[in-house]
Structure 1
Amino acid sequence: MTDTTSPDLNVRHDGAVAVLEIDRPPANYFDRALISALADALEGLESDGRTRAAVLCSSGKHFCAGANFASLPDGDDRTAESRRLYAEALRLFHVRIPVIAAVQGAAIGGGLGLACAADFRVATPDSVFQANFARLGFHQGFGLSVTLPRIVGPQKALDLLSTARRVRGEEAAVIGLADRVVPAGTERDAALAWAAEIAALAPLAVRSIRATLRSDLPGAVGQALEREVTEQARLWETEDGREGVAAGLERREPRFTGR
């Protein structure tokens, strides 16, 4: 049964576990309105008296392919909109209930950032994780400067960001990017079972443990987001930045010149 529905986001309960489903298939691109709706929903759930854990998932083929660049404004307006989007994204890191992301298909760019904002990630062998920012000609965002090194370690994070290579489910599990790998089509059920396991434990203790381990995360992410959007704004104005985004939209290999 659906508890609440906002545009492109469905929220329902399975006992003490809330299921938040992004519904913009097939790629499930996000914008500021969707991230704001997600933050609103999670903030409401953490204080509703019954939700002890949450599962973040998506309908369709892919978890999330990040922001839709075709819909973003140009120049200063793009930077301003990115700052507003990141202000909403920062709210996700203040959420007090555990969140498990069920990642089917691709989690790319900002979609990877969204997956890494969760406490845990359940993937399948077919899942694809990619920090594709260098391929687009600009700086990483959505707090990945902090979350990715925390999850996989600084050296592996540098590798993934510098090469923009795709990581499939099995390798993601080896490096710690995916916490569990399950057969394709079962990732949501596996995430729900895991969340139910957490929800069966003492909720005050779970929140306290989580708060201790993540105590510095919101502040660190907030600082990183400011650096990220500043660097993104600078690199968007370069020839390589324009070429990377254009190549992505045109589905071709970029031709970078270093200008």
Structure 2
Amino acid sequence: MKEFGTFGDVHVAIDDDHVATAEIRRPPNNFFDLELIDSMVTAIAALDDEPGCRAIVLCSKGKHFCAGANFTGGGSLPDESPRNPDGSPRHLYDAAYDLFSTRTPVVAAVQGAAVGGGLGVACFADFRVAATEARFTANFARLGFHHGFGLSVTLPRIVGHQRALELLYTGRRITGEEAAAIGLADRLVPLPALRDAAHELAAEIAASAPLAVVSIRQTMRGDLADAVRAATDREKVEQDWLRRTADWSEGVAAMAERRPPNFTGT
């Protein structure tokens, strides 16, 4: 495997079979924020321009794939001081749009938790290979919050509208087995075999004609990036006002204290 580069907390290497491994290195929880998503954007955009890369395995070092945003510091979201090229403040969802605009097929190798925004990152990928120990949670409503990262678009596309509603309304956790049963995980394997199984799927993709694969991907994903942009515009508005509610404060406190929340609708 040839070293390709390190982009913030994302390390990239490319194998001889044209498969790149992009590993998130924020163990054990791999919490996400604007800086991490921008690192992913930079890494994958660089791989888009690398002729030796035809498919990507997106994986994480540590116990969890991505445990979402870290709210334990009082419920604040990550600092968003960076700027877009036009000088406007750069939001996490600007980075989400850029991520969904990348061109190379991605296979996510999901171990442990893919929670909240971490589920959104997993749903960015074209495929998800999950370990039996994986768990997936759209836990936003259990925090008194609105889902984000384009899950309004991606989750229904993957599991169907009704199943997406159930997962979003209840915020319940599902196992790797259930994820495979409802189509959220494309393959389910034992944890020790996870990286190899994800690489195997990526290598199958990389063995196809690369121009044809990119063309097919563009057709099949269609306006996904633009749909994510429109969805995150709405998601951000809802998140902004819900972040000022008592239920949001209670949801974050309950999570930190590992107890059931007592929501009041205020």
The answer to whether TM tops 0.5 is yes
Task: Report deviation, 1:184.
Answer: 1.7
Residue 63 of structure 1 corresponds to which residue in structure 2?
65
Residue 101 of structure 2 corresponds to which residue in structure 1?
94
The separation in 2 between residues aligned to 1:80 and 1:154, in whole angstroms, is: 35
Q: Which one has a larger percent helix, Structure 1 or Structure 2?
A: 1
Matched, 1:129 2:136: yes
| Aligned pair partner of 2:227 in 187, 208, 220 | 220
SS in 1 for 2:191: coil
SS in 1 for 2:192: coil
Q: Quick check: 1:72–1:78 contact (8 Å CA) kept in 2?
A: no
Residue 172 of structure 2 corresponds to which residue in structure 1?
165
Residue 118 of structure 1 corresponds to which residue in structure 2?
125
Residue 162 of structure 2 corresponds to which residue in structure 1?
155
Question: Which residue type is aligned with residue 59 of structure 2?
Answer: C
Change (3 A) 1:209 1:130: same
Task: Report deviation, 1:69.
Answer: 2.0
Task: Report deviation, 1:216.
Answer: 1.6
The separation in 1 between residues aligned to 2:90 and 2:252, in whole angstroms, is: 19
| Aligned pair partner of 2:254 in 213, 228, 247 | 247
Task: Report deviation, 1:129.
Answer: 0.4
What is the aligned-residue identity percentage? Answer: 59
**What's the RMSD between the two structures over aligned residues?**
1.9
Residue 216 of structure 2 corresponds to which residue in structure 1?
209
Question: Which residue type is aligned with residue 174 of structure 1?
Answer: A
Residue 85 of structure 2 corresponds to which residue in structure 1?
none
Q: Quick check: 1:83–1:229 contact (8 Å CA) kept in 2?
A: no
The separation in 2 between residues aligned to 1:35 and 1:194, in whole angstroms, is: 24
Change (3 A) 1:62 1:160: same
Answer with 60-69 or 79-88: which moved more. Answer: 79-88
Residue 176 of structure 1 corresponds to which residue in structure 2?
183
Matched, 1:25 2:32: no
Q: What TM-score results when the alignment is normalised by the length of structure 2?
A: 0.92
How many correspondences in the alignment?
A: 258
| Aligned pair partner of 1:104 in 95, 103, 111 | 111
The separation in 2 between residues aligned to 1:190 and 1:87, in whole angstroms, is: 32
The separation in 1 between residues aligned to 2:259 and 2:246, in whole angstroms, is: 16
Residue 86 of structure 2 corresponds to which residue in structure 1?
none
Task: Report deviation, 1:68.
Answer: 1.3
In structure 1, the gaps of 5 or more residues are none
The separation in 2 between residues aligned to 1:252 and 1:142, in whole angstroms, is: 26
The separation in 1 between residues aligned to 2:226 and 2:244, in whole angstroms, is: 28
What per-residue deviation string (whole Å, max 9, x for no partner) do you get for residues 158-207 of structure 1?
Answer: 00001101111111111110000011221111010110111011001001
Moved over 3 A (4+): 70-75, 77-83
Residue 49 of structure 2 corresponds to which residue in structure 1?
47
SS in 2 for 1:10: strand
Residue 234 of structure 1 corresponds to which residue in structure 2?
241
Answer with 102-111 or 7-16: which moved more. Answer: 7-16
Q: Quick check: 2:75–2:252 contact (8 Å CA) kept in 1?
A: no
Question: Which residue type is aligned with residue 109 of structure 1?
Answer: G
Answer with 246-255 or 195-204: which moved more. Answer: 246-255
In structure 2, the gaps of 5 or more residues are 83-88
Question: Which residue type is aligned with residue 200 of structure 1?
Answer: A
Q: What TM-score results when the alignment is normalised by the length of structure 1?
A: 0.95
